[in-house]
Structure 1
Amino acid sequence: MMYEQQRFQIQQPPVKKKSTERSCRSGIEEEKLEIVDLSGMSLESLPNPSLNLAIICKLDLSNNNLQNIPESLTARLLNMVVLDVHSNQLRSLPNSVGCLSKLKVLNVSGNLIEYLPKSIENCRALEELNANFNKLSQLPDTMGFELLNLKKLSVNSNKLVFLPRSTSHLTSLKILDARLNCLRSLPDDLENLINLETLNVSQNFQYLDTLPYSIGLLLSLVELDVSYNRVKSLPDSIGCLKKLQKLSVEGNPLVSPPPEVVEQGLHAVKEYLCNKMNSAHQSPTKKKSWVGKLVKYGTFNGHARSGPREEREAFIVDHEYRSIDGLASPRYMGMFSPRRLFSPRSYFSN
């Protein structure tokens, strides 16, 4: 038994406890680690444990009436790999959750949690975080810089207004579920999520009206759900998503692509957006080449002349040339990222 007092105070189904020699993949091989199940026992609080908490690798406290988890208890779960406290009455998590350095799965869904402690960033082994159906209005600002092993982030059915900019640093992330929130925008640098396969930002209703161009640079994306928002135009870059197999856009006042294209399915939508993007880049009246604009601004030797032919000719350097050391200045360092060079928006303005 995990809790000695439990035997006398609760006349519910007994505590289910299992031993495992596998050490839950991260424990001490020479010592048996325990899987303790205290779910569905109508617990309102946790009495003092008699079991050595350091040998527990999985603890299930779900479907109870817990209002808090003691700081001292969490701090001693040194080999914890899975912690499940879903469907309780928790309003917060203890700061000592940051001591769970081996934690891989954390399920806190179905509670009343308004914020996640910043210390959760110390759970650097975390692979799955489920915080659905809470009252979260924001996530820790820098969590994306630390949780580099996170593969699944589920925060649907909360009150999130935005996702932290550090979200774009979760390079191991495969699933991001942020539906049923109050999102007004998404981070600009989503292209860094190189392993993201599923992105669901549906049902943010009247709040989310634009999508970043970087969505089309999520090269591993298989499923994209942006339904029931206020999006009027899909980024042209979505036409470049070769692995995309499912696109949900219903419930939006779409103008581009038009409804008649959307009705024809995913292939028609991707073709429409791809053609639109290509025509925008090829049209001479849209944007001049970035090389020509470097010439215009005097970065390379040559004189700005009227007409596209003269701009191209001005790029040819004769025996007199000008130093290009200026390109290393902070003003120009961001001009040559792939995202800027291939974005339909030019970094330079006429």
Structure 2
Amino acid sequence: MAAARRAAAADPRAGFRRPAAESGPAVPQGLLRAARKSGQLNLSGRSLSEVPQHVWRINLDTPEEAHQNLSFGAADRWWEQTDLTKLILASNKLQCLSEDVRLLPALTVLDVHDNQLTSLPSALGELENLQKLDVSHNKLRSIPEELMQLPHLKSLLLHHNELSYLPDGFGQLVNLEELDLSNNHLAEIPTSFALLINLVRLNLASNQLKSLPADISAMKSLRQLDCTKNYLETVPSKLATMASLEQLYLRKNKLRSLPEFPSCKLLKELHAGENQIEILNAENLKHLNSLSVLELRDNKIKSVPDEITLLQKLERLDLANNDISRLPYTLGNLPQLKFLALEGNPLRTIRRDLLQKGTQELLKYLRSKIQDDVTSPNDEPPVTAMTLPSESRINMHAITSLKLLEYSEKQAAVIPDEMFNAVRSNPVATVNFSKNQLNEIPPRIVELKDSVCDVNLGFNKISSVSVELCLLHKLTHLDIRNNFLTSLPEEMEALTRLQIINLSFNRFKVFPSVLYRLLALETVLLSNNQVGSIDPLQLQRMDKLGTLDLQNNDLLQVPPELGNCETLRTLLLEGNPFRTPRAAILAKGTAAVLEYLRSRIPA
């Protein structure tokens, strides 16, 4: 208690007077007694609007029981008990913290996350023993300069606040190892960040950054850098010299290219999806000997260099929704590759049904084609449902021989009747009306109900699914991504053969309930919507569901019971605002996530 006494030296009676009666909720005496013994006090989730004064004075004032009983056993000698080192005030209704926090100078951990704080007391700067400060999920607009005086601070969590600037003195926190500034309003980073040479994890996601200071490369200990969801158009070339960097997140920015990484020998994960990257060069890849995850989905990449086969430790490669028309067959020789996503590309040489068979079958196919990878430049590529319209004219040959009805990328508001008239009695298996300006599903599609099994209506302006679509009883694949859908009709329950549905980039706020009743579904792609919850018990009934993509939605929590969905082989949850499972667990893959969720199910 010596430290606490020194903090109150100005008041010689502090340790002996009884505290005056105070307003607000009282803290149970049992908790205070236990805290005097353990040095830890947890007051989270108690609806506190203010911190009772006797909490700040816990190591100064005579305990209540001392006024009632003057005989103490060895275990009750309060004057010999421990200074408070850990105080948890999370998930209350606190709007401010008292300057009296200085009366707890022995604190090493202070957790006040999930409150309503708009400012912090300058007295925090006097807590010279503080090692971890969590003030996330509040309403802070600024940080007191005094906070920069904490010499032993190792973890500072400021995410989910309203910060628009940071003090220039941030570089004084030289022992900082973890700094989370995500989900604020920051438009720039102080150059003094370069002095944070012991920083291991830096999270800048979901801010308003247009650039990063080149001096950030001086952070020689940095292993994880997250810049997701900003406005970055370029990345400093010096970033590529950060030899300790293991995880780099650049998703959801405005990047047109990737930097070269000559010194990032330890980089294991590179996430750069949802940018505007057009070219993937050999120079971007050839030094990344340790890379195990490369995520480049939703860009504009047109080709993949042969040098990608140098990434011998690559386990996950996500190239979905790009403009890739051809893959190097040698990709099949990557020995560790377990997950390969290619959907949404205009691939010429790989049939869509092969894409749906999974990574191992796809790699097997690529390996089988290595010897045949010599084609004439005049060879006409086969027409598939993913073939770009510029490469294929609509003709009777496509309808009669390929069973394909294709009218895409025409910017058409309606599909001409001539298209349906041309089908006549020919059975059409595949329909591709993607990348137009359709406001509704063409009613005449019902004329194809006895033969069509694959329908692509992606990249239109469709706001509802018509009854006519629900009559396509042989439908197995439905792609309706990038539209304006907010719900699905109950009539879709009639699509009993539906195996794959792509609803990404729509406007769903809830998981469509009818999907729970489509028991043949194997793949549900619902990324980039606004889904706030899922029903794990109903998902368990979908006993053929192998892939569930819920990335970039509004899930505030992941129900532990989801871990019981034993058929899931691919579960994608990144980009949601939930706190658990943490990113480190998500990065380990689906099996690890499901195991974690099962461990959280109440006994």
Normalising by structure 2, we get a TM-score of: 0.41
Residue of 211, 225, 228 corresponding to 2:321: 228
Asked if 2 retains the 8 angstrom alpha-carbon contact of 1:217 and 1:237, the reply is no
Map of 1:210 onto structure 2 = 303
Asked if 1 retains the 8 angstrom alpha-carbon contact of 2:306 and 2:330, the reply is yes
Partner of 1:49, secondary structure, is helix
Residue of 230, 236, 239 corresponding to 1:143: 239
Map of 2:347 onto structure 1 = 254
Pair 1:201-2:307 in alignment: no
Letter in 1 for 2:95: Q
Map of 2:179 onto structure 1 = 83
Map of 2:275 onto structure 1 = 181
Partner of 1:56, secondary structure, is coil
Asked if 1 retains the 8 angstrom alpha-carbon contact of 2:329 and 2:373, the reply is no
Map of 2:143 onto structure 1 = 46
- 5+ residue gaps in structure 1? 1-6, 21-30, 282-350
Pair 1:103-2:186 in alignment: no
1:98-177 to 2 correspondences below 5 Å: 98-145=194-241, 147-165=242-260, 167-177=261-271
Q: Could you tell which deviates more after superposition, 44-53 or 54-63?
A: 44-53
Pair 1:277-2:370 in alignment: yes
4+ long deviations beyond 4 Å: 13-18
The alpha carbon displacement at 1:133 in A equals 0.8
Letter in 2 for 1:110: S
Cα RMSD after superposing both structures: 2.4
Q: 1:45 to 1:251 in 2, by over 3 A?
A: same
**How many aligned positions are there?**
258
Partner of 1:55, secondary structure, is coil
Map of 2:190 onto structure 1 = 94
Letter in 2 for 1:216: T
The alpha carbon displacement at 1:280 in A equals 4.3
Q: Distance in 2 between matches of 1:51 and 1:264?
A: 55
The alpha carbon displacement at 1:175 in A equals 1.0
Letter in 1 for 2:176: M
Asked if 2 retains the 8 angstrom alpha-carbon contact of 1:234 and 1:257, the reply is no
Partner of 2:237, secondary structure, is coil
Q: Which structure exhibits the higher relative contact order, with contacts defined as CA atoms closer than 8 Å and separated by 6 or more residues?
A: 1
Partner of 1:169, secondary structure, is coil
Q: 1:178 to 1:172 in 2, by over 3 A?
A: same
Map of 2:335 onto structure 1 = 242
> Max radius of gyration: which structure?
2
Q: Distance in 2 between matches of 1:93 and 1:181?
A: 21
Q: Distance in 1 between matches of 2:147 and 2:181?
A: 20
Letter in 2 for 1:195: S
Q: Percent identity?
A: 29
Map of 2:508 onto structure 1 = none
Map of 2:44 onto structure 1 = none
Asked if 2 retains the 8 angstrom alpha-carbon contact of 1:202 and 1:225, the reply is yes
The alpha carbon displacement at 1:48 in A equals 2.8
Map of 1:268 onto structure 2 = 361
Pair 1:191-2:286 in alignment: yes
The alpha carbon displacement at 1:255 in A equals 1.1
Q: Distance in 2 between matches of 1:153 and 1:183?
A: 16
Pair 1:19-2:126 in alignment: no
The alpha carbon displacement at 1:168 in A equals 4.9
Partner of 2:265, secondary structure, is coil
Map of 1:329 onto structure 2 = none
The alpha carbon displacement at 1:278 in A equals 3.0
Q: Distance in 2 between matches of 1:168 and 1:232?
A: 28
- 5+ residue gaps in structure 2? 1-50, 52-92, 110-127, 375-603
Q: Distance in 2 between matches of 1:227 and 1:267?
A: 17
Partner of 2:146, secondary structure, is coil
Map of 2:121 onto structure 1 = none
Asked if 1 retains the 8 angstrom alpha-carbon contact of 2:145 and 2:167, the reply is no
Asked if 1 retains the 8 angstrom alpha-carbon contact of 2:131 and 2:154, the reply is yes
Asked if 2 retains the 8 angstrom alpha-carbon contact of 1:216 and 1:236, the reply is no
The alpha carbon displacement at 1:11 in A equals 5.4
1:41-80 to 2 correspondences below 5 Å: 41-49=138-146, 52-72=149-169, 74-80=170-176
Asked if 2 retains the 8 angstrom alpha-carbon contact of 1:35 and 1:58, the reply is yes
Deviation sequence 1:115-163 (CA, Å, 0-9, x none): 1100100001000001111111110012112x11111101101111111
Letter in 2 for 1:173: L
Letter in 1 for 2:340: L
Letter in 1 for 2:108: S
Q: Distance in 2 between matches of 1:40 and 1:262?
A: 42
Q: Distance in 2 between matches of 1:192 and 1:11?
A: 50
Pair 1:34-2:149 in alignment: no
Q: 1:101 to 1:42 in 2, by over 3 A?
A: same
Asked if 1 retains the 8 angstrom alpha-carbon contact of 2:338 and 2:360, the reply is no
Letter in 2 for 1:130: D
Asked if 2 retains the 8 angstrom alpha-carbon contact of 1:80 and 1:102, the reply is yes
Letter in 2 for 1:82: E
Normalising by structure 1, we get a TM-score of: 0.68
